[in-house]
Structure 1
Amino acid sequence: MSLIYQLALARIKGVGSVIAKHLLDYCGSPEEIFRTPKKQLIKIPGIGESIANSILQNNVMKEVEKEIAFIEKHKINVLFWKADNYPEKLIFCNDAPILLYYKGNVAVNAKRIISIVGTRNATDYGKGICDEFIAGLRGHDVLVVSGLALGIDSYVHKACVKNNLPTIGVLGHGLDRIYPASNRNLALEMLKHGGLLTEYSSGTKPDRQNFPSRNRIIAGMADVTIVVEAALKGGALITAEIANTYNRDVCAFPGDIRKPYSNGCNYLIKTNRAHLISSVKDLEYIMNWELNAVIHSQQLQVDFVMSATEKNVYEALEEAGPMGIDALLYRLKLPQNKLAMILLELEMKGGIIALPGKMYRIP
């Protein structure tokens, strides 16, 4: 029964992901949203009479029944907001989808997740980077996310399949089709080594407006977004910009200043929107991967005064070792601006050390 209401919530006219989460906060569950009387719904901030009527009319149930039949037939997993199987890094993105459809054989949550994006007009330079960089990721326990588009995205997924690395393609349409059609065989191979993920229900066509929207999933799922080749305008730079707004790391491979499909990467680096990288070793340093492997939390003598909240942050780092802001937010349930101030205070007192990759540890 819960699945019916989850799917219905995602289909209500006028209710996007932000309003849906707002309704969940007030009502507690998808079922309760549909059971709440109109007079109570319209008292919820942001929910007017029009949205309340859309909720109570329940005119999406026939569509939902059809979708459930499709989900069951094709063994698709529904990942609902804040459920255990929902991508945990997306939870920190205010515009993340309320619901995702996933087909694959690897979990969408991994310790290390990177997104790799780039131009549809990949050059030999970009293709070579994909092959070399992905091969260098073997042994790093990394999940690679991209968009299954022509060009760099496709070469990333192909290199992952070749090197037996898990990879997930985020789609701009329903799981009843593959776009572009030329990637159908690649998608089938990816189902053996990863999976396909989308916020769109079956029957949704690959319309142009869907692809910039799906880029927020590519950026939000990952610890870092890497741009291989990109022009000054296009989906790769949109994804990089979104990642920056999510306070995630962005990296870019530099390119020939005379080549149009290097201009985007060079611009990101020049304007400090991305770290310059040329190898997996650079990524290890930026993301603090080597440090994580050798540093262990130690019991230290604290010789400065901490508030109760500062002590909670300190003890979390002491117990778990180096952590990023997202992990601390999830663990401590603090507002992001408050946590940022606490981390700054602790750093100024010498209680913690800021590391590359927006990570923190105790000295």
Structure 2
Amino acid sequence: MEKLYQVALTMVEGVGSIMFRQLINNFGSAENVFKAKTDKLLKTPGVGKQIAEGLKNKNLFAEAEKLLNEVEKQQVKLFFSTDKDYPSRLKSLYDAPSILYYKGKADINSVRTIGIVGTRQATDYGKQITEEIVAQLKPYNICVISGLAYGIDIAAHKAALDNNIPTIGVMASGLDIVYPAQHQKYAEQMLEHGGILSESPLGMKPIRNLFIARNRIIAGLSDIVIVIESAAKGGAMVTAEFANNYHHEVFAVPGSLTNKYSEGCNKLIKDNKANIFTSVNDIIESMNWDTEGKVPEKNTTRNTEIDLSQYTQEEGQVIAFLRTNGETQIDTLSWQTQIPVNRLASLLLNLEFQGIIKALAGKKFGLKL
């Protein structure tokens, strides 16, 4: 029943991803939100007359039930931002989607994820570089994330399929409307060797603002984003900006000064918003991946000699979390400890000076002792 209320809540005009979580946090559940009295709703920051009235619209439940029936019929999995199995990389994002629709077999929480993006007007050079990157990273147990668009996006998905690497396409439309339609066959292949993901409900056609929203999901799901080719402005540049805001690594492939679709990449490198990509070794070294592609096991037994009473409450939280979970990205650490990123960064620096923790590639931190 709660799932019905959650879907209905996403249908209320004015309730975006941030408001969705705020309402549920304030009232305890989506059901409680709908049952709350108007005066209490209006006391919630950001809730005005429009949202309050929208929550009293009984027709929403019929629409939500219809959508849930269609989701079940098409074997689509729902992830709500309040769920335990919601993609872990997105949980800590301030603008994380309130709901995600997913279909496929790839692990949405793959250990290593690579976002590959670029212009729809990809050159042969760009496609070749994309294919080489994907093929050479196969030993490292990656999952390729992109947007199913023309050009670099589909080149990345095709390269992953050719190399039997899991790949997830993040869509701006509902999962039942593949855009562009010419990529339907690749989307179907990805259901067996990856998956397709969207925050748009079934039946939703792609519109401009949904593509921008889609780009933030690509950036959020990717440990590292690689911009292959891009004009000075475009979707790939937006994705890179999101990745920088999320403190995820960004690489850009440098290109000819006379190539319009290298302007964006060169600008990212010039503005220090992306590392220069010269070979896959740049990625391997940046992300601290070993040559066998093995994933370091979490160490839950070491560092037990650390006396947490010597540290502040927040420092103790960080040390205890890293002791149990191992190397962790700063965004995830912030989410799990509920310490704002700005304060956490200062706290981590202090612990690093004390020789307790160490800063690692990919904006990760781990215990040093």
TM-score range, shorter chain: over 0.9
- Structure 1 pair 75/294, CA: closer, same or farther in 2 (3 Å)? closer
The residue that corresponds to 1:184 in the other structure is 184
**Residue ranges of structure 1 left out of the alignment (5+ in a row):** none
- Distance in 2, matches of 1:69 and 1:110, equals 29
Q: Deviations over 1:76-123 (max 9, x none)?
A: 111111312311111111112100111111221122122110000111
Alpha-carbon distance in 1 for matches of 2:78, 2:313: 39
Q: Deviations over 1:222-258 (max 9, x none)?
A: 2121111111110000110111111211111111222
TM-score normalised by structure 2 residue count: 0.92
Q: Give the 3 Å change call, closer, same or farther, for CA 85–303 of structure 1 in structure 2.
A: closer
Q: Distance in 2 between matches of 1:93 and 1:179?
A: 26
Q: SS of the residue aligned with 1:174?
A: coil
Identity of aligned residues (%): 44
Give the secondary-structure state (helix, strand or coil) at the position aligned to 2:96: coil
1:228–1:252 Cα contact (<8 Å) kept: yes
Matches within 5 A, 1:221-240: 221-240=221-240
Please tell me whether residue 253 in structure 1 is matched to residue 250 in structure 2.
no
Q: Which residue of 2 aligns with 1:136?
A: 136
| Matched AA of 1:175 | L
Matched, 1:356 2:361: yes
Q: Secondary structure at the match of 1:290?
A: coil
The more displaced of 212-221 and 316-325 is 316-325
Native 8 Å contact 1:82 1:88 kept in 2: no
Are the structure 2 counterparts of residues 294 and 212 from structure 1 closer, same or farther at C-alpha, using a change threshold of 3 Å?
closer
Structure 1 residues 279 and 94, CA gap change in structure 2 (3 angstroms): same
**What letter is aligned with 1:218?**
I
Q: Does 1:327 align with 2:332?
A: yes
Q: Where do 1:93-104 residues align within 5 Å?
A: 93-104=93-104
Q: Structure 1 residues 312, 81: CA separation in 2 closer, same or farther (over 3 Å shift)?
A: closer
- Summarize the Cα distance change of 1:239–1:313 in structure 2 as closer, same or farther, 3 Å threshold: same
Aligned to 1:202: 202
The reply to whether residue 35 of structure 1 matches residue 40 of structure 2 is no
Task: Give SS of 1:257's match.
Answer: coil
> Which secondary structure does the structure 2 equivalent of 1:143 belong to?
strand
Q: How far does residue 293 in structure 1 lie from its aligned partner after superposition?
A: 5.4
Instruction: Find out whether 1:344 has 2:344 as its counterpart.
Output: no
Instruction: Letter of the 1:106 partner, please give it.
Output: A
Matches within 5 A, 1:81-120: 81-120=81-120
Alignment-mate amino acid for residue 361 of structure 1:
G
The AA in structure 1 aligned to 2:322 is L
Q: Distance in 2 between matches of 1:73 and 1:274?
A: 43
d(CA) in 1 for partners of 2:290, 2:246: 24
Contact 1:85–1:108 (CA under 8 A) maintained in structure 2: no
Give distance in 2, aligned partners of 1:293 and 1:181.
37
- Unpaired segments ≥5 residues, structure 2: none
Contact 2:231/2:264, CA 8 A, preserved across alignment: yes
Distance in 2 between the 1:4 and 1:82 partners? 14
Please give the root-mean-square deviation of Cα atoms over the aligned residues, in Å: 2.1
User: d(CA) in 1 for partners of 2:44 and 2:328?
Assistant: 36
SS at match of 2:140: coil
SS at match of 1:56: coil
Moved more, 13-22 or 186-195: 13-22
Letter of the aligned partner of 1:20 in structure 2? F
| One-letter code aligned to 2:239 | T
TM-score (norm 1): 0.94
Equivalent-residue separation in structure 1 for 2:180 and 2:29 (angstroms): 37
> Is the deviation greater in 59-68 or in 91-100?
59-68
Question: In 1, are the aligned partners of 2:93 and 2:331 still within 8 Å (CA)?
Answer: no
Bigger mean CA offset, 9-18 vs 303-312: 303-312
1:153 aligned residue: 153
Which whole-Å deviations, capped at 9, do the CAs of 1:189-216 have from their partners, x for residues lacking one? 1111111111111221122222112111
The 3-state SS of whatever aligns with 2:128 is: helix
CA distance in 1, matches of 2:69, 2:295: 45
Amino acid at match of 1:320: N
Once the two structures are superposed, residues 155-175 of structure 1 have per-residue CA deviations (whole angstroms, 9 ceiling, x without a partner) of 000001111111110111112
Check if 1:213 corresponds to 2:206. no
Q: How many residues align?
A: 363
The answer on whether the counterparts of 1:100 and 1:197 sit within 8 Å (CA) in structure 2 is: yes
Instruction: Measure the CA separation in 2 of the matches of 1:317 and 1:198.
Output: 32
Is the partner of 2:101 in helix, strand or coil? Answer: strand
Q: Is the 8 A contact 2:287 2:362 kept in 1?
A: yes
